[in-house]
Amino acid sequence: MNCSISSLERFAACQYAHYLSYALHLRERETFSFDALDMGNLSQEILQRFGEELRAGKVDWATAEEALTENILEKVTQQVLGTYEDSVFREEEKRSFYVGQIKRILRRTVKTLQTHLAAGKFVPYDYERKFRRIYDDILLKGKIDRVDVYKNGNETMVKIIDYKTGSRDFDFTGLYYGLSLQLAVYMKQAMEQIQATQPEQTVTPAAMLYYRISDPQITGDAVLSEEEMQKAVLESLNYKGLVCSREG
């Protein structure tokens, strides 16, 4: 039996809803619109290709010049949009609006993620990392949006990042009851895959995080300078999740 993390979470939340979705395969009637799910799928694919382009060109995301990242982002965005067949993009006015929105949000996303990388020692290891694992008669499969690593001597520390278009935070209660398994399962799979390729290293978990793909608007009564505004935006786009805390 094939299984995904989202299907396990749905089963834990409501077995009847799981039956309707995964046994009967009931779906809402398809409409020609562009919603948060479409935005999420497009954004993840664009970010994946963006990272792969940087890696192919041996470019360090943390130190890449803005003109270069802008050019690569424009290139991969056009590539992905060219494969998107939803009729909402066939209407010129809607296409112009949505494409502009996607580009604006992803420019902010790329810049923010670059700032995060530049502030630390982790480097991207892989994008859209796939895994398939059999537990008894269940085939568990999925994709990890981004895996970062930091090598410190004989230790390889692992950070995983899952991109979201909505707000999401790690929930211990949800993990206990099987409602929020994603980050924990992704971390285990990423560590096992890395350990298999680096048997001489000690692979340890460093962080498992959600990042919200967004271009937030900062509101308030105070008048902020450009520097203060950028700082406020970065703070609002900080990761959510768990980070290992230890000495050394």
Per-residue CA distances from 88 to 77, 93, 130 (Å): 17, 9, 30
End-to-end Cα, the chain, rounded Å: 43
Strand partners, 138: 135
- Characterize the bridge pairing of strands 2-4 and 138-152: parallel
Structure tokens at 219: 């509101």
Strand partners, 134: 139
Residue owning tokens 């009851």: 177
Q: Hey, what amino acid is at 131?
A: F
pLDDT of residue 127: 93
Please state the separation of Cα 237 from the chain's center in Å. 13
Q: Can you state the angle between helices 92-118 and 36-56, rounded to 10 degrees?
A: 50
pLDDT of residue 174: 87
Which pTM value belongs to this model?
A: 0.81
pLDDT, tens digit only, all 248 positions of the chain: 677 888 888 888 898 888 888 888 887 776 655 666 677 788 889 999 999 999 999 999 999 999 999 999 999 998 888 776 555 565 666 777 878 888 999 999 999 999 999 999 999 999 999 998 887 778 888 999 999 999 999 999 999 999 988 777 888 888 888 888 899 999 999 999 999 999 999 999 999 999 999 877 777 667 777 777 778 888 888 899 999 887 55
Q: How many residues does the chain have?
A: 248
Own/partner contacts of 59-68, CB < 8 Å, gap of 24 or more, are 60/123, 61/113, 61/114, 61/117, 61/123, 61/124, 62/114, 62/117, 62/118, 62/123, 63/118, 64/114, 66/111
Structure tokens at 162: 């899952």
